[in-house]
Structure 1
């Protein structure tokens, strides 16, 4: 998984929502978009980049960071069950 590409995509999503006048609505919009349209392994990789910012090489925008921190529980995929 290309973490730099994921952060770049998340930053572009953040740029779109950052123009909204209501900051809380914008932050929730970023999180909702990532939760709805990104597959679990993409979300895991993005959350891992949040936890280890020096490893990615590209800066995560403030709105994306805020969305990931505030909505981390909703964004964290459930672990696959082993039957």
Structure 2
């Protein structure tokens, strides 16, 4: 998965929600969109970029904040091994 492409996609989602007057609603909207429409591998890769220094990627501040705030609910659950 191309990290930069995922960051670019997340930034576009962030741009849409950033125009909302209620910042909390915008942060929740970003996380909800990513949770509902991104497959687990995409979310895993994007969340892994949060552990890199901010200067290493071009993630917008609102997207970074949304991901950090909602990290637990965005982290895919590992499938049960039988």
TM-score of the superposition, structure 1-length normalised?
Answer: 0.92
Distance, in Å, in 1 between the alignment partners of 2:14 and 2:35 is 14
Distance, in Å, in 1 between the alignment partners of 2:53 and 2:75 is 18
Q: Which runs of 4+ in 1 moved over 6 A?
A: none
What is the total number of aligned residue pairs between the two structures? 82
* Unmatched runs of 5 consecutive residues or more in structure 1: none
Alignment of 1:1-83 (within 5 A): 1-53=1-53, 57-83=56-82
How far the C-alpha of 1:73 sits from its partner, in A, is: 0.6
* Unmatched runs of 5 consecutive residues or more in structure 2: none
Distance, in Å, in 2 between the alignment partners of 1:53 and 1:6 is 17
TM-align CA RMSD: 1.5
